[in-house]
């Protein structure tokens, strides 16, 4: 198994998770906005909810895996940056997504 | 009369216009030969079989890569004009001739090099025509290495790292071949740096392959194997 093949597999499987996740997330936003819930009302429903905690942690993990691999492909194809530099950039991006994403999940659940 | 513009020179050069009489059943290769025999004896071009078997006559004809020996003028002409250039994405040698050596190097990169799994003393593997892996291999096996798909591929044109459709199509036939001794290695190379992951799946290769093969289908198949592992084949 080569690194590139491993990344390809990780990106495919994370995409399989993200497809339903994104749909649920969008549906959720639409329902919430349509019902005109206030921030407090939303927080009262998400705070302490294991379901939403697990869902959004999984969401954040899937994004953290999926997006930086894609950005790595784009940078490798479209810029003259060396492979090492691209890897560092994408690793930083992954850490940034992971930390900000988890921070948000902990804040609302 | 046909108006034919032909690229003369290497990277630096110019289009020169020629007039060639129209005849019945003319191929583009006939036109180039007529110009070379009657008007421009030092015009460089390449061909061998003249019947779509050897893969050496490919050029860019009115903007698209084609075998010139199997392209009828009537099918490809734009008004009364033909514009002939060397195949794109290859180093140019002179006029219509390109250097195919880097193209054949890509075959090594994708693991598209056959390694026997048995010796002459072993019994041959029994492969039936309806074996699913054999059918996969058969779908891509008729490639004649003409580099038309490689030249048609936009990703090849901008990504020097990309191995391109022909080498990956050949890797696809090998990972499905029970007689190939390094199926796993070939799959890993085809999915490695500059391999299937760089393909944008837009199918220009398939649209232009004169044999009617589908390198993009082979690439999609290799991606599937990346997730599912290799298909079962008969043991040697
Ligand atoms: S796949 Fe088709 S276009 Fe590509 S090299 Fe083979 S025969 Fe030529
Ligand atoms: S499908 Fe892939 S190999 Fe074929 S032309 Fe498009 S990018 Fe190139
Ligand atoms: S000359 Fe052989 S394929 Fe055209």
Nearest ligand, measured from the Cα of B48: 3
Considering chain A, what percentage of its residues have pLDDT values greater than 90?
Answer: 72
pLDDT higher than threshold 90 for residue A71? yes
Residue B143: inside a domain: yes
What are the angstrom distances between the C-alpha of B55 and each of A26, B25, B50, B124, B164?
Answer: 52, 21, 9, 31, 17
Looking at the complex, report in whole angstroms how far the Cα of residue A38 sits from the nearest Cα belonging to chain B.
44
C-beta B100 within 6 A of ligand 1: no
Please check the confidence at residue B8 and state whether its pLDDT lies above 90.
Answer: yes
End residue of a domain, out of B65, B98, B131: B98
Which of B36, B31, B107 lies closest to B74 in space, CA to CA? B31
**What's the structural domain count of chain A?**
1
Strands (E), B10-150: 13-20, 58-61, 64-67, 81-85, 92-94, 97-98
- B8 and B120 share one domain: no
Of B52, B68, B98, the position where a domain reaches its end is B98
Whether residues B52 and B132 fall in one domain: no
Q: Is the pLDDT of residue A55 over 70?
A: yes
CATH number for A71: 1.20.1300
- The residue range of the domain holding A31 is 3-108
B112 and B208 housed in the same domain:
yes
> What is the C-alpha to C-alpha distance for residues B138 and B80, in angstroms, rounded to an integer?
40
What residues of chain A, 40 to 79, have a C-beta less than 8 Å from chain B?
Answer: 73, 76-77
Interhelix angle B215-228/B165-175, rounded to 10 degrees, is 50
Q: Does B198 touch chain A (CB under 8 A)?
A: yes
B90/B48 same-domain check: yes
Are B198 and A8 a contacting pair at CB < 8 A?
no
Residues B49, B74, B139, CA angle at the centre, nearest 5°?
A: 50
> Could you tell me if B71 and B143 lie in one domain?
no
- Does position B102 have pLDDT exceeding 70, yes or no? yes
Q: Are residues B108 and B216 in the same domain?
A: yes
Distance B4 CA to ligand 2 centre (A): 30
In a domain, B135, yes or no: yes
Q: Which residues in B lie closer than 8 A to residue A77 (C-beta atoms)? A: 155, 158-159, 198
Question: ipTM value of the model?
Answer: 0.76
State the CATH number of the domain containing residue B189: 1.10.1060.10
Contact A8 B226 (CB under 8 A): yes
Which of B32, B52, B71 has most ligand 3 atoms within 8 Å of CB, for mutation?
B52
pTM for this prediction: 0.89
Are B119 and B197 contained in the same domain? Answer: yes
Whether residues B132 and B205 fall in one domain:
yes
Which of B47, B71, B98 is the last residue before a domain boundary? B98
Cα B198 from Cα B167, distance rounded (Å): 13
Query: Do the chains contact at A8 and B161, CB–CB below 8 Å?
Result: no
Looking at the complex, report in whole angstroms how far the Cα of residue B227 sits from the nearest Cα belonging to chain A.
Answer: 6
Beta carbon pairs, A and B, within 8 Å: 34
Nearest in space to B205 (alpha carbons), one of B220, B191, B216, B194: B216
Give the pairing type, strands B92-94 and B64-67: unpaired
- Across the range B185-204, mean pLDDT stands at 93
- One domain, residues B116 and B90: no
A71 token code pair: 């950005």
Residues B144 and B50 in one domain: no
Q: Is residue B78 part of a domain?
A: yes
Question: How do residues B155-168 score in pLDDT, each as one tens digit?
Answer: 999 998 999 999 99
Q: Which tokens belong to A73?
A: 């492909």
How many domains are there within chain B? 2
Q: Could you tell me the residue range of the domain that residue B122 belongs to?
A: 101-228
d(CA B150, CA B65): 9
Q: Is A46 exposed, middle or buried (0-12, 13-18, 19+ CB in 10 A)?
A: middle
Q: Residue B236 pLDDT more than 80? A: no
Examine residue B201 and state whether it is found in any structural domain, yes or no. yes
pLDDT at B235 over 80: no
Phi-psi region of B55 (alpha: psi -120 to 50; beta: other; left: phi over 0): left
A20 to chain B, closest Cα gap in Å: 20
B114 CB less than 6 Å from ligand 3?
A: no
Sign of CA dihedral B214, B219, B225, B231: positive
Half-sphere exposure of B79 (CA within 13 A, CB side): 4
Beta-carbon separation of B192 and A5 below 8 A: yes
pLDDT beyond 70 at B77: yes
Residues B188 and B152 in one domain: yes
């Amino acid at each position: 198994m080569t690194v590139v093949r491993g990344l390809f597999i990780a990106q495919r499987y994370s995409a399989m998770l993200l497809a339903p996740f994104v749909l649920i997330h969008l549906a959720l936003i639409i329902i919430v906005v349509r019902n005109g819930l206030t921030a407090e009302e939303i927080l009262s429903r998400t705070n302490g909810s294991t379901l939403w905690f697990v869902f959004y942690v999984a969401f954040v993990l899937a994004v953290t895996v999926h997006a930086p691999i894609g950005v790595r492909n784009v940078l490798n194809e479209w810029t003259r940056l060396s492979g090492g530099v691209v890897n560092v950039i994408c690793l930083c991006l992954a850490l940034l997504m992971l930390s900000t994403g988890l921070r948000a999940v902990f804040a609302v659940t | 009369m046909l108006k034919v513009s032909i690229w003369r020179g290497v990277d630096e050069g110019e289009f020169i216009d020629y007039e060639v009489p129209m005849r019945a059943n003319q191929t583009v290769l006939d036109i180039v030969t007529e110009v070379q025999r009657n008007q421009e004896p030092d015009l460089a071009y390449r061909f061998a079989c003249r019947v779509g078997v050897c893969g050496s006559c490919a050029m860019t004809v009115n903007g698209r890569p084609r075998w010139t020996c199997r392209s009828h003028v009537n099918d490809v002409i734009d008004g009364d004009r033909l514009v002939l250039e060397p195949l794109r994405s290859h180093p140019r040698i002179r006029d219509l001739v390109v250097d195919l050596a880097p193209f054949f190097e890509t075959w090594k990169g994708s693991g598209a090099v056959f390694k026997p799994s048995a010796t002459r003393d072993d019994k041959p593997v029994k492969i039936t025509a309806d074996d699913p892996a054999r059918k996969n291999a058969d779908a891509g096996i008729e490639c004649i290495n003409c580099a038309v798909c490689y030249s048609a591929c936009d990703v090849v044109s901008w990504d020097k790292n990309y191995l391109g459709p022909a080498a990956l199509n050949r890797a696809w036939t090998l990972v499905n071949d029970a007689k190939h001794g390094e199926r796993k290695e070939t799959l890993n190379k085809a999915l490695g740096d500059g391999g299937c992951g760089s393909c944008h799946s837009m199918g220009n290769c398939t649209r232009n392959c004169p044999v009617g093969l589908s390198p993009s289908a082979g690439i999609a198949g290799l991606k599937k194997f990346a997730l599912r592992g290799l298909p079962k084949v008969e043991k040697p």
